[in-house]
A and B are shown apart, each in its own frame.
Chain A
Amino acid sequence: MRRSHEPIAWSLFGAGGMLLAFFGPGLVLTTALLPWLAAGDPQAAHAAIGALLAHPLGKVLVLACIALPLFHTLHRIYHGLHDLHLQAPRLPMQLLCYGGATLLSAISAWWLLLV
């Protein structure tokens, strides 16, 4: 029998769910307020975010905040479409959801390396 991809998908889904539960609301509130928080000195705010993105640990944290929610949400959407009886061939849907999350994560990692 062919091995299932489900354990990998579920691990990333679980990690994303934990991250979103423990840091999601705080992160959304932070970026929602960001234009006003940075209004006093936008250049300084840009420099502060640049310092975060320049640090290796900062890159890892930012990548986690983008990649894990991508895997989490696309896993839920993949199974949610099944729940809604929106039938689609399994393999293309898996490629679209998990492949899409992988591709977008890789692009984000590339951008983080450019900073």
Chain B
Amino acid sequence: MRKPYVQRQRADWWLRNPAYRRYMLREATALPLLLYALLLMSGLYQFTRGEAAFLAWLALLRSPWLLALHGLALAAAQYHAVTWIALVPKILVIDSDRLRVSPATVQRVHQLGAVTCNAGLLVLALLLLRAAGGY
């Protein structure tokens, strides 16, 4: 008979250590980001129903609850981005005879890339909507 040894662990194991609390906070960023993905889905659905439905959805985005969700999702996305990119040099190890890049450089380049992509997306959206509005 197999008698596996089960290591006992309290359910609140992550509350005692700041590193574990940060880990749980990182994992918890998934909750607002999931709600945000569903919000995007709802916008897409309203778009399929026609212009009036989509403009009503656009007006709904001004509601305090959805603004709060956006604020929470923004904070979650930023915390996710920082922690995600901090892990990149642990997975992407460039250390061969032909090419050697330090982990700090790998992280720096990804940070710069993320800032550029996020700012670029925002600027692109602003320009496109400005061009569409004709002002």
Residues of B within 8 A of A72 (CB): 30, 33
- Binary interface encoding of chain B residues 37-74 relative to chain A, with 1 for a CB under 8 A from any of its CBs, else 0: 11111011101100100110011011000010011011
Q: Whose C-beta in chain A lies nearest to the C-beta of B78? A: A25
Among residues of A, the one whose C-beta sits closest to the C-beta of B39 is: A31
In chain B, residues 76-130, which have Cβ atoms closer than 8 Å to a Cβ of chain A?
A: 77-78, 80-81, 84-85, 113-114, 117-122, 125-126, 128-130
**Interface majority SS on A: helix, strand, loop or mixed?**
helix
Interface centre among A40, A53, A73, A104 (most CB of B within 10 A): A73
Chain A residues within an 8 Å CB radius of B114:
21-22
Selected contact of B134 from candidates A23, A31, A41, A76, CB within 8 Å: A41
Residues of B within 8 A of A27 (CB): 77, 121
Q: Name the residue of chain A whose CB is nearest to the CB of B122.
A: A26
Q: Are B121 and A41 in contact (CB under 8 A)?
A: no
- The minimal Cβ–Cβ distance linking B38 to chain A, given in whole angstroms, is 8
Which residue of B is nearest A29, CB measured?
A: B122
Q: Name the B residues within 8 Å of A20 (CB-CB).
A: 33, 77, 80-81, 84
Contact yes or no, A108 B44, CB < 8 A: yes
Sorting the interface of chain B by its residue count into under 10, 10 to 19, 20 to 34 or 35 or more gives 35 or more
CB distance from B79 to the nearest CB of A (A): 10
A18 / chain B contacts, CB cutoff of 8 Å: 84
A88 to chain B, nearest CB (A): 14
Q: List 26 A-B contacts (CB under 8 A).
A: A21-B84, A22-B118, A26-B117, A26-B122, A28-B70, A30-B121, A30-B125, A31-B39, A32-B70, A32-B71, A34-B129, A41-B135, A48-B131, A49-B47, A65-B40, A66-B41, A72-B33, A73-B37, A77-B31, A80-B30, A85-B9, A104-B41, A107-B41, A108-B41, A111-B45, A115-B44
